[in-house]
Structure 1
Amino acid sequence: MSRLIPSSRSAATFAFVLALFAALMPAQADTEINGVRFADTITIDETPVPLRGGRLYRYTVFRVYVGALYVPEDVAPQDVLTADVPKRLELEYLRSISAEDFRKSGNTLLEDQQSGDTLAALADRLETFNAAYRDMEAGDRYALEYRPGRGTRLLQNGTELVEVPGADFAEAYFGIWLHPDNPLSTRVRDALIGAS
């Protein structure tokens, strides 16, 4: 029976080890958006960038993904798209989507939003970016991340797939979601930039 009851010394040692373990673990607060958890702050090139907003995106009756946007606090909602600052859009998918569907839908939206001259200037980089898309399953996550002076990265579940240069590319591609006049969804855009 005495073996089942820890001594006060072993209990104190156990409590100390637990406290030490907790102190060594990085504190990671997060926010739940439509049942999906996102970190409150991420780091882009050693710069902490806070969560601005997020929302579920539906296509007709289908729940497609939950998105969250990270952008510095001092950027006004109307300036999020054009500001030359670190930013990241994370999208956790709730259903399977093929790489080809990503390419087609992205190209269609860009054609609706951008001029022919802009699309011509982006064509080579857009082809490089589109070639990096992979098939996604429910629970997978893409991140579109802009790093000033370096370019726009596409990450799949935290692994970089591609990076293309140019603030102009970042503005056009983030514009799929954040365009001031013709975004994929006005409700999603406003929730992401903190306008609603």
Structure 2
Amino acid sequence: MIARTQPVRFAASLGAALLLTLFSAAPATAATEIDGVHFADSVAIDDTTVPLRAGRLYRYTVFRVYVGALYVPEDVAPEAVLTADVPKRLELEYLRAISADDFRKSGNRLLEDQQDAETLAALADRLETFNAAYRDMEAGDRYALEYRPGHGTRLLQNGTPLVEVSGRDFAEA
């Protein structure tokens, strides 16, 4: 069993690799069950209905960790998911408990691996605000990362908004 006090490296897969992997998985169908977890066929982001495009179970070694669903407009190609200025949402249901501190540590490690020092400096204040919003998660809880063009990136826990930070650059990072 994974101890909650150890950094959780699998939580860091919220980046580009996760999104591209989701798109390479079997496309979502009208059945919104992904490995036993139910997701909506679409979500409303402001005035836009955004369809479920893909979903997948993620494992860390032999442990089932979370099931992810990606909501992106149909006209967005997989390689454009991170840069498209369109409403989009990544929703993850956790199958194990993960601490807020583990989310912060692994998210920061992921960004440090993927971004240069100048980008990290430009994001620092917003990243600190975003990281402060993380909560401990139990099995069955959901986080959603939702980008709203002209507004920013929201973090929702079980449908409740926790924080929103501005900037398309933050969403792309």
Question: What 5-or-longer segments of structure 2 have no aligned partner?
Answer: 1-29
Q: Give, in angstroms, the shift of residue 78 of structure 1.
A: 1.0
**Which residue of structure 2 lines up, in the alignment, with residue 85 of structure 1?**
86
- Divergent runs of 4+, >3 A: none
Q: Give, in angstroms, the shift of residue 103 of structure 1.
A: 0.3
Work out the CA distance in 2 between the residues paired with 1:108 and 1:64.
19
Q: Give, in angstroms, the shift of residue 30 of structure 1.
A: 5.1
Identity across aligned pairs (percent)?
Answer: 85
Question: What 5-or-longer segments of structure 1 have no aligned partner?
Answer: 1-28, 173-196
CA contact (8 A) 1:30 1:39 kept: no
3-state SS of the aligned residue for 2:155?
strand
- Equivalences, count: 144
**Which residue of structure 2 lines up, in the alignment, with residue 157 of structure 1?**
158
Matched, 1:116 2:121: no
**Which residue of structure 2 lines up, in the alignment, with residue 34 of structure 1?**
35
Work out the CA distance in 2 between the residues paired with 1:65 and 1:46.
28
Structure 1 residues 54-108: Cα deviation after superposition (integer angstroms, max 9, x where no partner):
1111111111100000000011111111000000000000000000000001000
Q: TM-score, normalised by structure 2?
A: 0.82
Q: TM-score, normalised by structure 1?
A: 0.72
**Which residue of structure 1 lines up, in the alignment, with residue 55 of structure 2?**
54
Work out the CA distance in 1 between the residues paired with 2:31 and 2:104.
31
Q: Give, in angstroms, the shift of residue 35 of structure 1.
A: 0.9
Give the number of the structure whose alpha-carbon radius of gyration is greater.
1
* Higher fraction of helix: 1
Work out the CA distance in 2 between the residues paired with 1:147 and 1:137.
27
Q: Give, in angstroms, the shift of residue 32 of structure 1.
A: 0.7
Letter in 2 for 1:51: L
Letter in 1 for 2:72: V
Letter in 1 for 2:68: G
Letter in 2 for 1:74: D
CA-atom RMSD, angstroms? 0.9
**Which residue of structure 1 lines up, in the alignment, with residue 108 of structure 2?**
107
